[in-house]
Amino acid sequence: MQSLLKISNLSRSFKHVSGLWTSYEKLAYGPVSFTLDKGQTLAIVGESGAGKSALVRTITGLLEPSSGEIHLKGQPILSLTSQQRCSSIRMIFQDPSSSLNPKMTVGKILNAPLQLNTDFDAEKRDLRIKETLKLVGLLPDYLAFYPNMLSSVQKHQVAIARAMILNPDIIIVDEILATLDISLRFKIVNLLLKIQKIKGTSYIFIAHSMHLIRHMSDHIVVLHAGKIVEKGSASIICDSPQHEQTKFLLLSHEPDYRK
Ligand SMILES: Nc1ncnc2c1ncn2[C@@H]1O[C@H](COP(=O)(O)OP(=O)(O)O)[C@@H](O)[C@H]1O
Ligand SMILES: [Mg+2]
User: 36-66 pLDDT, tens per residue?
Assistant: 999 999 999 999 999 999 999 999 999 999 9
- The residue whose C-alpha atom lies closest to atom 24 belonging to ligand 1 is 49
User: What is the structure's pLDDT at 117?
Assistant: 93
Are 68 and 11 contacting, i.e. CB atoms less than 8 angstroms apart? yes
Residue list, ligand 1 pocket, CB within 6 Å: 14, 28, 46, 48-54
Q: pTM here?
A: 0.93
**Residue 238 pLDDT more than 70?**
yes
Contacts (Cβ under 8 Å, ≥6 apart) of 182: 255, 256, 257
165: Cα separation from own chain's centroid: 15
* pLDDT band, residue 255 (cuts 50/70/90): low
Of the pLDDT bands very low, low, confident and very high (cuts 50, 70, 90), residue 254 is: low
| 78 falls within a domain | yes
Per-residue pLDDT at 78: 93
Mean pLDDT of 204-230: 92
> Is there a domain that residue 229 lies in?
yes
Would you state the pLDDT for residue 251? 87
Q: What is the pLDDT of residue 253?
A: 62
Ligand 2 mean position to 140 CA, how many Å? 33
The domain containing residue 38 runs over which residues? Answer: 5-97+169-258
- Ligand 1 atom nearest 223 alpha carbon: 22
d(CA 218, CA 38): 11
Out of 65-74, 133-142, 209-218, 228-237, least confident range: 209-218
155 located within any domain: no
User: 225 near 253, Cβ under 8 Å?
Assistant: no
Whole-number Å distance, alpha carbon 65 to ligand 1 midpoint, is 13
Q: Does some domain include residue 80?
A: yes
With respect to residue 104, please indicate whether it lies within any of the assigned structural domains: no
| Cα torsion angle, 254, 255, 256, 259, sign | negative
In a domain, 131, yes or no: no
- Cβ–Cβ under 8 Å, residues 42 and 205: yes
What's the total number of domains in the chain?
Answer: 1
Centre of ligand 2 to C-alpha 256, Å, is: 20
b (16+ CB within 10 A) / e for 13-43: beeeeeeeeeeeeebbbbbbebebeeebbbb
CA distances from 121 to 27, 74, 125 (A): 45, 31, 6
How many angstroms separate the CA atoms of 215 and 41, rounded?
Answer: 11
The residues with which 6 forms a beta bridge, in sequence order, are 35, 71
Average pLDDT (199-207) is 95
| Amino acid code (one letter) for 73 | K
Protein residue closest via CA to atom 9 of ligand 1: 54
Q: Which residue among 15, 25, 53, 174 is best mutated to probe the pocket of ligand 1, counting the most ligand atoms within 8 A of its Cβ?
A: 53
Categorize the per-residue pLDDT at 257 as very low, low, confident or very high, splitting at 50, 70 and 90: very low
Q: DSSP letter string over 77-97?
A: GGGS-HHHHHHHEEEE-S-HH
Q: What is the pLDDT of residue 129?
A: 98
> What pLDDT digit, counting tens, does each position of 164-194 carry?
999 999 999 998 887 788 888 889 999 999 9
Is 253 exposed, middle or buried (CB count within 10 Å of its CB: 0-12, 13-18, 19+)?
A: middle
Residue 5 has pLDDT above 80, yes or no: yes
Q: What is the CATH number of the domain that holds 236?
A: 3.40.50.300
Instruction: Among the bound ligands, name the one nearest to the CA of residue 173.
Output: 2
- Predicted local distance difference test score (pLDDT) of residue 181: 83
First-to-last C-alpha distance (Å) of the chain: 43
SS3 breakdown of the chain: % helix, strand, coil, rounded to 5? Answer: 45, 25, 30
Average pLDDT over residues 88-113: 92
Domain-embedded: residue 139: no
Q: Which atom number of ligand 1 is nearest to the Cα of residue 50?
A: 22
Q: Is residue 212 part of a domain?
A: yes
Average pLDDT, the chain: 92
Q: Could you report the per-residue pLDDT of 10-21, keeping only the tens digit for each?
A: 999 999 998 888
Closest CA to 40 of 231, 203, 233: 203
Best of 10, 11, 14, 93 for a ligand 1 pocket test (most atoms within 8 Å of beta carbon): 14
Distance 231 CA to ligand 2 centre (A): 19
pLDDT at 168: 97
